[in-house]
Structure 1
Amino acid sequence: MSAVHPRPTIPGFDYQRLTAADGIDLNVATGGTGAPIVLLHGFPQTHLMWRHVARALASDHTVICPDLRGYGTSDKPVEASPDVYSKRTMAADIVAVAAALGHDRFALAGHDRGALVAVRAALDHPDTITHLATLDVLPTLDMWDVLHGANAAVAFHLYLMAQPPGLPERMIEASADAFFGYFLDVWTQNSAAIPDDVRAEYLRASREAVPSIVADYRASAGIDVEHDRADRESGRRLTMPVTVVQQDWGDALGYDAVGLWRAWAPDLVHRTTNAGHFMAEESSDEIVAVLRDLLVRQPATRSAL
């Protein structure tokens, strides 16, 4: 009989399940005291991606690290409608969880998928989100606009998981570890940044969540685009201080990332990093410093915007 290995956790953090906006439960790790900041993970990861950053920030902040709906050990509702995994619904989850912990205002940082949730939370709940940081994404609508030609091959998974229910789930489930492990390999510059136990947890969690992960991506090719387009047409923008951190691709992808972000976020600081996509794990000290700089920024005056 093989030994059962405990799942890795963030040392010093407490764990609980908290009910989100529509009755689903999220797995949430919390630690520290002080002004609250919520950290949202990306793909194909769980809240563990923040383990270094969270512990550093917990010295003087209340740090909240949930598994997004459909990921990790959070609930994975069936995709009964496009809205179940819309970023609007996932953002409402985060606002509800923070409220359950006693926080009606908080800073928010997200990586990858979590960054898309964070942006939607900041657009939909501007009086709740005090500061916003996004790591290595473009806004959903802009992402689809800039992907074209041979350069779009780097995002093949976006197109695969945008397909109607059935085929993408079956294809991924047939070789789940190879599929999810591929991204952990090619998006990482320093493989030691994701140790074996954490990698195994990412693969296990993703393997058990294929339908919900695909549903999350499918929403980003459909209902999330609709929500972003409505905001762009109405002139809705991010009103809080925003910091964006992205890999330094130079001109390789052929778009002006700063310009795309500034159209959404007038009060913007844009930074590039030499780290790979999993920058919170590969260059945690850098990301901690970036977040600390953000958290002390005061909102720009309306006349400055």
Structure 2
Amino acid sequence: MAPSIPGFAYQRVPVADDVTLNVAVGGSGSPIVLLHGFPQTHLMWRHVAADLAADHTVICPDLRGYGASDKPADTDGTAYAKRTMAADIIALARALGHDRFALAGHDRGALVAFRAALDHPGAITHLACLDVLPTLDMWDVTRGTTAAVGFHLYLMAQPPGLPEQLIAAAPDVFFGHFLDIWAGAPQTIPADIRAAYLDASRNAVTSIVADYRASAGIDIDHDRADHDTGNQLRMPVTVLQQDWGAALGFDAPALWQAWAPDLSHTTVTYGHFMAEEAPEQIAAALRKLTAR
């Protein structure tokens, strides 16, 4: 049996003409939506979600293109734009009866959350972004030999064909590489969860590449338009981040402050998969955010 979040009910929710999301829902109270990163599924939130369910309605979807959610073809370059993926999340929350909700994302999910908060400020009460920079800033600061840590960003930015073929030739090696090097401790991702992540990713190579390709193109255009017009995040924002600046030579809090005037930025010592490595601390940070 595939792993699941204990005590959560699973359903499939249509969010667009060609997309239905797989979602786990549990708990009661004010709503919070949790968006996963790469190369994961909603299961990355399993510990945090169970904790938050004591006083929140917790909604954990697989993003479009990931996990058990639909994976539409990207025929025009917009299917995996973060604007499109963010609209999915707004539609999901509304379908579940929530016009306003807190939103937290990790990695790729944080980029979707960031875009949702910029595009739909009336819907997002609080925003948390875990271990990511806004797309525009990420490309600006990633350069030189230090950019080798983000080789996958450049690989999946290539035109359709080459990256999909290379990754599909050895998907478990490719996706497993990130599960290994980004985990702060070996026990962070147990064998059954790792197997679920690899199985999901192995069957989503095309859509995962399309997600990353969008972040080298259309997502930059959308971020730059907001940057140039001064559009900012209007809600309380919490960012939890490894000390990327020490390695790559930039001031992460300053970059985030330009987007989020009401910002709490914390540099953490956890590994990239912090919701799995330090779930009590992440749940506490999200509770502190939503109490503001």
TM tier relative to shorter chain: over 0.9
CA apart distance, 1:251 = 1.9
Separation in 1 of the partners of 2:230 and 2:105? 23
What residue is the counterpart of 1:69 in the other structure? 64
SS in structure 2 of the partner of residue 189 of structure 1? coil
The correspondence of residues 96-115 of structure 1 with structure 2, limited to 5 A, is 96-115=91-110
What residue is the counterpart of 1:175 in the other structure? 170
SS in structure 2 of the partner of residue 79 of structure 1? coil
What residue is the counterpart of 2:49 in the other structure? 54
TM-score (normalised: structure 2):
0.99
Q: Which amino acid is 1:110 matched to?
A: G
Separation in 2 of the partners of 1:103 and 1:210? 32
Separation in 2 of the partners of 1:120 and 1:67? 17
What residue is the counterpart of 1:134 in the other structure? 129
Separation in 1 of the partners of 2:230 and 2:174? 38
SS in structure 1 of the partner of residue 67 of structure 2? coil
Q: Which amino acid is 2:98 matched to?
A: H
Q: Which amino acid is 2:134 matched to?
A: P
SS in structure 2 of the partner of residue 251 of structure 1? helix
Q: Which amino acid is 2:171 matched to?
A: A
The correspondence of residues 140-289 of structure 1 with structure 2, limited to 5 A, is 140-249=135-244, 251-289=246-284
Instruction: Say if 2:18 and 2:72, in contact at 8 Å, map to a contact too.
Output: no
Question: Superposition RMSD on alpha carbons, in Å?
Answer: 0.7
CA apart distance, 1:23 = 3.7
Separation in 2 of the partners of 1:21 and 1:109? 21
CA apart distance, 1:253 = 1.3
* Deviations 1:52-90 (CA, angstroms, capped at 9, x unpaired): 000000001000000000000000000111110000000
What residue is the counterpart of 2:83 in the other structure? 88
What residue ranges of structure 2 are gaps of 5+ in the alignment? none
Separation in 1 of the partners of 2:235 and 2:184? 32
Q: Which amino acid is 2:123 matched to?
A: T
What residue is the counterpart of 1:39 in the other structure? 34
Separation in 2 of the partners of 1:189 and 1:226? 33
Q: Which amino acid is 1:194 matched to?
A: I
What residue ranges of structure 1 are gaps of 5+ in the alignment? 1-5, 298-305
SS in structure 1 of the partner of residue 73 of structure 2? coil
Separation in 2 of the partners of 1:120 and 1:19? 20
Q: Which amino acid is 2:192 matched to?
A: D
Q: Which amino acid is 1:115 matched to?
A: A
Separation in 2 of the partners of 1:293 and 1:90? 27
Change (3 A) 1:171 1:58: same
Separation in 1 of the partners of 2:36 and 2:81? 16
Q: What percentage of aligned pairs have identical amino acids?
A: 71
Separation in 1 of the partners of 2:81 and 2:17? 13
Q: Which amino acid is 2:104 matched to?
A: A
Separation in 2 of the partners of 1:135 and 1:292? 14
Separation in 1 of the partners of 2:194 and 2:215? 25
Separation in 1 of the partners of 2:209 and 2:101? 29
Find runs of 4+ consecutive structure 1 residues off by over 4 angstroms. none
Instruction: Say if 2:37 and 2:107, in contact at 8 Å, map to a contact too.
Output: yes
What residue is the counterpart of 1:302 in the other structure? none
